[in-house]
Amino acid sequence: EDKVVQSPLSLVVHEGDTVTLNCSYEVTNFRSLLWYKQEKKAPTFLFMLTSSGIEKKSGRLSSILDKKELFSILNITATQTGDSAIYLCSFNNAGNMLTFGGGTRLMVKP
């Protein structure tokens, strides 16, 4: 059965800290891995990764995929209180269905 496991479950840091969120997966028909940020309701799209070893960056956020070891990491540098959210990792299979992990709840304290 396809599955996605995220760690840690939750994390509390102070503004300015750097965090690394982990996502490991087991999938039969991998097409892409997607990261989302969920603050209140709608998950908002962050990154899509399809190739190993190529880092995607957007401001203070970056992500990389390792298709050999079946994991991805999401890094956030110089964290701000606005980064407080649940971060969801998902993969997209051949049928274009997203399978999500349980999420990592990040709290950034001032």
Q: Using CB under 8 A, list all residues that contact another protein.
A: 4, 31-32, 34, 36, 41-45, 48, 50, 88, 90, 92, 95-103
What is the closest distance, in whole angstroms, from the C-beta atom of residue 78 to another protein in the complex?
27
Which is nearer to another protein, 17 or 71 (by Cβ)?
71
Residue pair 63/56 in contact by the 8 Å Cβ criterion: yes
The strand order across the sheet containing 61-66 reads 3-7, 19-26, 71-76, 61-66, 56-58
Q: Which is nearer to another protein, 71 or 100 (CB)?
A: 100
Pairing of the two strands 19-26 and 3-7: antiparallel
Maximum CA extent, the chain: 42
d(CA 109, CA 66): 31
Q: Which is nearer to another protein, 78 or 97 (CB)?
A: 97
CB 18, min distance to another protein, A: 24
Shortest separation between residue 50's beta carbon and another protein, angstroms: 7
